[in-house]
């Protein structure tokens, strides 16, 4: 198995042997490892102890998506395209992997909204500080970019990592390494964006549905993931944002000139599919998904 699948380790081989014959006793992981070492099938560099990080994850699917832009998708002629990727924090299910001709804010939002139309609206998203995701670092004054506006209108809490903190989005960075190693480095340049997207879609489908994940006790991401479009009751037991790492910061809307009038202002708003209503563009209040599409009176 190792010679055929050179990236399989002892744990994966034990799992595959158990799948081949569920009634036969599978060898121990240590036994398989010794066989690999004896036959020179283990790279000594793979045995180096890696730095241990404290693992964190949300308690259920659709509570948090990690999103990122990554390069490395090359077309014939040497042109490089970007890929918008999104992964569910709890299940490691890949929710979006879209090849972008131009990594503009509008292209990112179009792919993001397409993923939400397919899988449902997550409660939170976590991104880096790229200008497609946030305008808080724009000079001379911060602005609200299209991605932040999209999150606000869908009732999604947008969070940012601290700068130079790649481990905060470690799950999607790990996915990028696997994607490069198993697909992009093997296939080389694609003829067109369409052929690149088709190849990536096929690989992602296999990643979600066929590939066992060690952090999921060898379950597949698809077996753990639950879409809110098919299971709308995936509500967190804690308020959204109750479990936040120090490295993740909440995106605040760009400062606006406040109305100095002391009188109250009333206006109507429609409850989005997430059940979270944004008041005065700043505060988010959970009113419940049962009121989706209902009108509420907002007092500011």
Q: Per residue in 180-228, pLDDT tens?
A: 988 998 888 999 999 999 999 999 999 999 988 877 788 999 999 998 7
Q: Are residues 170 and 292 in the same domain?
A: no
Confirm whether 35 is domain-assigned: yes
Same domain, yes or no, for 69 and 132?
A: yes
pLDDT in tens, 30-78: 776 677 677 766 665 555 455 555 557 788 999 999 999 999 999 998 9
Identify the helix (H) or strand (E) that includes residue 115. Answer: helix 105-119
Structural domain contains residue 204: yes
Q: Same structural domain for residues 196 and 82? A: yes
The band of 236, judged by pLDDT with boundaries at 50, 70 and 90, is very low
- 214 to 66, 93, 202, 220, 263: CA distances (angstroms): 19, 13, 21, 9, 58
List the domain range (segments joined by +) for residue 29.
10-47
Q: Identify whether residues 152 and 30 lie together within a single domain.
A: no
| Mean pLDDT taken over the chain | 78
Contact 50, 110 (CB under 8 A): no
CB 71 within 8 A of CB 80: yes
- 8 A C-beta contact, residue 107 and residue 74: no
Dihedral sign computed on CA atoms, order 241, 115, 101, 199: positive
DSSP 262: -
Q: Which residues of 14-27 are buried (b: 16+ CB within 10 A; e: fewer)?
A: beebeeeeeeeebb
- Tell me if 25 is assigned to some domain: yes
Task: Evaluate if residue 252 carries a pLDDT over 80.
Answer: no
Specify if 3 maps to a domain: no
179 in a structural domain: yes
* 56 domain-assigned: no
Predicted local distance difference test score (pLDDT) of residue 71: 94
Indicate whether 290 and 155 sit together in one domain.
Answer: no
Report the largest interatomic distance among the alpha carbons of the chain, rounded to a whole angstrom.
Answer: 80
Q: How many domains does the chain have?
A: 3
In a domain, 2, yes or no: no
Q: Where are the beta strands (DSSP E) in 199-286?
A: 248-250, 266-270, 276-279, 283-286
Same domain, 163 and 220: yes
Tens-place pLDDT, residues 75-88:
998 999 999 999 99
Cβ burial, residue 165 (10 Å; 0-12/13-18/19+): middle
Q: Which residues contact 82 (CB under 8 A, 6 or more apart)?
A: 69, 70, 71, 73, 99, 100, 103
- How many CA atoms lie less than 13 Å away from 160 in the CB half-sphere? 20
Confidence band (pLDDT; 50, 70, 90) for 237? Answer: very low
Do both 163 and 292 map to the same domain? no
């Amino acid at each position: 198995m190792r010679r055929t699948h050179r990236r399989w380790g002892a744990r994966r081989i034990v799992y595959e042997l158990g799948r081949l014959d569920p009634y036969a006793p599978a060898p121990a992981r240590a036994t398989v490892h010794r066989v690999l070492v004896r036959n020179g099938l283990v790279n000594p560099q793979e045995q180096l102890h890696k730095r241990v990080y404290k693992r964190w994850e949300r308690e259920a699917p659709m509570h948090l998506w990690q999103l990122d832009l990554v390069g490395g998708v090359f077309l014939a002629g040497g042109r490089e395209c970007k890929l918008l990727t999104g992964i569910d924090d709890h299940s490691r299910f890949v929710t979006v992997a879209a090849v972008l001709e131009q990594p503009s804010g509008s292209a990112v939002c179009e792919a993001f909204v397409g993923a939400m139309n397919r899988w449902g609206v997550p409660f939170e998203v976590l991104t880096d500080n790229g200008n497609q995701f946030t305008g808080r670092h724009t000079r001379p004054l911060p602005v609200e970019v299209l991605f932040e506006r999209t999150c606000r209108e869908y009732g999604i809490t947008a969070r940012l990592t601290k700068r130079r903190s790649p481990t905060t989005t470690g799950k999607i960075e790990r996915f990028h390494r696997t994607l490069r190693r198993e697909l992009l480095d093997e296939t080389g340049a694609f003829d067109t964006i369409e052929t690149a997207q088709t190849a990536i879609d096929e690989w992602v489908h296999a990643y979600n549905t066929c590939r066992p994940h060690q952090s999921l006790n060898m379950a597949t991401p698809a077996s753990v993931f639950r879409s809110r479009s098919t299971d709308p009751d995936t509500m967190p037991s804690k308020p959204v944002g109750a479990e936040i790492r120090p490295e993740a910061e909440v995106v605040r809307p760009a400062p606006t000139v406040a109305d100095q009038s002391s009188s109250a202002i009333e206006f109507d708003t429609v409850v989005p599919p997430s059940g979270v209503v944004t008041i005065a563009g700043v505060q988010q209040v959970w009113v419940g998904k049962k009121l989706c599409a209902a009108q509420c009176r907002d007092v500011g």
